[in-house]
């Protein structure tokens, strides 16, 4: 399904389309894609000063438990250790494996994983890994463990 981005579509229609597509993505279980669509929708609505669209996006985001602010700038808020943990999460490692790789306790890994999920505005490790792989954050990354 293509998002109406052409010049022939009114801007408010583009925002409304993103909101409806986000609803569809949530129903399909693709929460990370839905969160990104909601962030775009909120940005458009804010630039337009369209209070009803802003409210609709915020109400849906709250009801779905999604953040409308997931962006690369939030990934920049991650500490160096959190970036390392995120990199290892995206490799599919468990907390125990991450702890062994970074020489830290499993409990410390758990704290870092929780912080990463919170800062990225995602609910699962899979969503965090997808965010890391699909964002500009991944273009700036350094190896998680220096040999």
Domains of the chain plus CATH, in order, are: 11-64 (no CATH), 72-140 (1.10.10.10)
The per-residue pLDDT for 69 is: 52
Distance CA(69)–CA(72), nearest Å, equals 10
Instruction: Specify the residue for token string 């020489």.
Output: 103
**Of the candidates 85, 98, 80, which has an alpha carbon nearest to the alpha carbon of residue 128?**
85
The per-residue pLDDT for 136 is: 47
The per-residue pLDDT for 139 is: 44
pLDDT in tens for each of the 147 residues of the chain?
444 444 556 888 888 888 899 889 888 888 888 888 888 888 888 888 888 888 888 888 877 777 655 444 555 588 999 999 999 999 999 999 999 999 999 999 999 999 998 888 788 898 888 888 776 454 444 455 544
For the entire predicted model, the pTM comes to: 0.48
**Of the candidates 71, 50, 53, 63, which has an alpha carbon nearest to the alpha carbon of residue 23?**
63
The per-residue pLDDT for 102 is: 94
The per-residue pLDDT for 33 is: 82
Distance CA(65)–CA(68), nearest Å, equals 10
């Amino acid at each position: 399904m293509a998002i109406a981005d052409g010049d022939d579509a009114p801007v408010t229609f583009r925002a409304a389309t993103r909101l409806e597509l986000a609803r569809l993505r949530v129903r399909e279980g693709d929460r990370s894609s839905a969160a990104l669509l909601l962030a775009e929708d909120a940005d458009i609505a804010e630039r337009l000063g369209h209070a009803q669209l802003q409210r609709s996006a915020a109400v849906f985001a709250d009801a779905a438990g999604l953040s409308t602010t997931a962006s690369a700038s939030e990934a920049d808020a991650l500490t160096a250790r959190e970036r390392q943990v995120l990199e290892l999460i995206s490799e599919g490692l468990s907390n125990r494996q991450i702890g062994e790789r970074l020489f830290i306790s499993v409990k410390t890994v758990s704290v870092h994983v929780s912080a990463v999920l919170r800062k990225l505005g995602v609910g699962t490790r899979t969503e965090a890994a997808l965010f890391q792989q699909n964002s500009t954050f991944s273009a700036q990354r350094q190896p998680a463990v220096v040999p």
